[in-house]
Structure 1
Amino acid sequence: MTWLITGGAGYIGAHVARAMAEAGERVVALDDLSAGIPNRLPESIPLVRGSSLDADLLKRVLADHAVTGVVHLAARKQVGESVDRPTRYYQDNVGGLATLLEAVAEAGIKRFVFSSSAAVYGNPDVDLITEDTPCAPMSPYGETKLAGEWLVRAAGRAHGIATVCLRYFNVAGAAAPELADTGVFNVIPMVFDRLTRDEAPRIFGDDYPTPDGTCVRDYIHVADLADAHLTAAKRLAGGATGDLTVNIGRGEGVSVRELITLIGEVSGDTRQPVVEPRRPGDAPRAVASAALAARELGWSARRGVREMVESAWQGWQLHHAGPQAH
């Protein structure tokens, strides 16, 4: 097997590429480097610079590297930006996927893993979100991920491609400091950013119907997420057919206030957060049922939230040295 990983120099993609290579899989990465960083990848993994929208390049890469399976992570993923630029999100996320699937079908490749998102669910009023929870995305980003799943399954049926769609919940942490998330879009790096600028963390709304009034989320360590991709790839390599769609989470909720308290303990900066008005579209609670992933993939998360915060903090210090870095 040789696996093409699109978005392979990104935060999640580089973790997936490393995990698969360390497990003995042959890997080639494709990344347009709009968010990817080449030195996240070891020299043993070839990196092709380019886009999944480039049909000619895709055909060439699939042929040159004798690719037999694809893990598709390349996508735009900022919810707010997707509201402002929906056409770009549909073009890149759905158009790029369509172009890739066409090349995959033409090349006779029969294994495909798709990076989806809990954003497909929207704001369901349930204690645990199962794969049967109705999908009602609340942003163009979430819509592109749901449309992507439909497209993956349809192409799989049409061309005999075995597929797995992984619906990630909130990804955090780093397997090594140099692999850490360099963006300031998710809650943990957003808190780090405030502390580094000598400002108090922010909580958007403390009047939700949750135990402490702040939003509750399911956090998954990026190294566990990488293991889930490896497990999915091995399932397909082992001859699995049809399509599988599973949640990737821990099945445990952590509130924003609990998370900020933990960040204070890890960073040594325990200043109290300031409470600001709710942001539109934030669900009070979004926690995965991880039972199907355990049953179908034999996978479950092994790392806890403290390990996520500690590893993310080490990465933040490496990439964003400032007055609070020590």
Structure 2
Amino acid sequence: MPIDPKSLIGFGAEATSRSVKRVSNLPAPIRQAITGDPIEIDGQVLDHESQVVLKAGEWARPDTLTPDNVAEFRLFGNSSAIMGGGSPLPIAEERNFSIPTQTGPIEGRLYRPVTGDAVTPGLLYLHGGSWIFGNIDTHANVCRMIAMAANVTVLAIHYSLSPERVFPFALNEVRDAWHWMHARKDELGITGGIAIAGDSAGANMATVHCIRARDEGWPTPSFQLLFVPPTDMVSMTYSRERFKEGFFLTEADLVQAAENYLGGDHSLLTNPLVSPILCENLSGLPSAHIATAGFDPLRDYGEAYGNALREAGVQVDICRHATLLHPFVNLIGVSHAAREAVAVAAGALRMGIASAGIYVP
């Protein structure tokens, strides 16, 4: 009998979770012999479960992202995200879709916290992965968790990746998926408006999508939920310098990810649809919750964008999870602190949707 790949994924995620928990639960001296002393920087102490994952990643990940090892990086990124996400969380209903776009169909998956004819608000989720990896499987558990915790119907999409497809190809797929979702709200069991969310590269595109929606007259997202968003491709910040090595996402990774996404066109680095903090007018954008991680080179970019939104009159809360790493949304299966961070964000989403005047049962 052929083996179902999804059963292997589930087995691997469960085994990873058990292994991290076992190491994390060891007496501190034994655990530290495996992972090293607790990592403390600027008064922040890295979550010990995340430190176990970080140590494991040092043994498994490619040295750095280069033009020649994209396939290897994808394999590492996708597998580690699935393993860190843990065993599948309970969800009322899941459905897969093929979503038409102007450049061809993309995959989508719907996560419903309710069944039957019951309706909820909606959320479009854009996965992270430096624009080169990630898919609807790598972020399945964070979507399930948000759907159930915030009582929203989540549509996750797998946009085209670089370097095969470069800016603005994926952004336009997001646009087309957005319109498809709005046109089918009744079929999808969605009432009222639709929010947008994403992590890392997906969070960058979520911010940009909000700007495009405002400027081009599309239905505006009811709320934006941004995990560790890269919002500035130009400036060097304290966090980018301080955490440029040894914390999952390296400086070389960031440079090569931008190179891939932009097809080597450095003139695009200052384009507001690439670096949204450079947008001259941030007023009139949806309210936002921005979640950053203490041990993340991109930390300061997300917080600077949140402050810029506030200055423009947008309601925003910025929540720094000081003990966490950049990819914490993909660590909810192994880190209590990561799960708590996503739960906080889901609560903010639920409140943000309610504040926008959209019914939340």
TM-score where L is the length of structure 2? 0.33
TM-score where L is the length of structure 1? 0.36
